[in-house]
A = this chain, B = another copy of it.
Amino acid sequence: MSKVTSMRDAVAAFVHDGDVVAIEGFTHLICFAAGHEIIRQRKRDLTLARLTPDLIYDQMVAAGTARKLVFSWLGNPGVGGLHAIRRRVEDADPAPLELEEYSHFGMVGRYTAGASNLPFFPLRSYFETDLPKANPLIRPIRSPFGEETVYAVPPLKPDVTIVHAQRADADGNTQMWGLLGCQKEAAFAADRVIVVVEELVEESVIRADPNRTVFPGLIVDAVVVEPFGAHPSYVQGAYDRDNRFYRDWDAIAREASTTQAWLDEWVYGVTGRAEYVEKLGAERVAGLRPSGEAPSGSVDYGVYK
């Protein structure tokens, strides 16, 4: 049963106003295409969860889709701050933005607890810091063995998790390589999952290397085929991170007006990712391709009859 659909239909069907939405991917495989479609469909009152809100949430916040962020590191990696988010946090401009803050491992633990149906996840972090004061959902827990106390974080179960990957089959069996972040945990934790891929493959490609599968179609609601859908983030083996855009965004986002102009041109002004890529231009796209191939090599699973 094919779950292949368009980005427009996937977002319309599975992302609702007020949802907790996780578009995960630690620098790698961040699905900007889905974020832009959420902006175009003018979803509202979302709680956006991500370890590193990154440019995609700065854009979604600037577009007014979000009322709250759940996160662990708020910045433009290697460049600076996220200005649209900072305007709302520091100056309530144009409205306040609620923050719920953990550390990286705390967020990973939250997804893990959500995926595992556990009421909490324990970790050795937060000792002697101000984080538990800032967030009362970071709580001490006593070990039942000995006297030790560690900290616990509560499960995070997104209403919808959106994952970008190198490939999936029509049922949503998904494979990725390179940095895996916490997409697996975020997907298993979610009520609904949208997978966006560079390439739709036959089921036989997935079954040829079952150890490469990150999660099964069982938990997937929609498969969207959208090449270059992670730009300006990147896809290992397919295209590079567009660091130029990450640097450019710093200037774009410093003012509300330039931010809105950018959204008008690059999000509202295009119908979808295909048009975005066309607008980006063949030269820019070509410049982001890897300079060569680095094949993994093949291993043998053997036939056992």
B237-A295 in contact (CB<8A) = no
A293 and B297 within 8 A (CB): no
Contact with B along A273-305 (1 / 0, CB 8 A): 000000000000000001111111111111111
CA–CA, A137 to B300, complex, Å?
A: 42
Copies in the complex: 2
* Size class of the contact patch on chain A: 35 or more
Alpha-carbon separation in the docked complex, A177 to B240 (Å): 29
CA distance A301 to B152 in the complex (A): 36
Complex interface: stretch among A16-24, A84-92, A143-151, A263-271: A143-151
Asked if A135 is at the interface (CB within 8 A of a chain B CB), the reply is no
Q: Is the CB of B293 within 8 A of A302?
A: yes
Instruction: Say yes or no for A3: interface residue by CB 8 A criterion.
Output: no
A166 at the interface (CB under 8 A from B): yes
Given contacts A177-B301, A294-B303, A300-B296, contact A143 B119 (CB under 8 A): yes
In the complex, the answer to whether A296 meets B236 with C-beta atoms within 8 Å is no
Taking A118-B124, A120-B122, A141-B144 as contacts, is the C-beta distance between A296 and B305 under 8 angstroms? no
Selected interface stretch from A70-78, A206-214, A251-259: A206-214
Q: Which residues of A contact B (CB under 8 A)?
A: 117-124, 137, 139-141, 143-146, 148, 150, 152, 154, 166, 177-178, 180, 205, 208-209, 211-212, 236-238, 240, 290-305
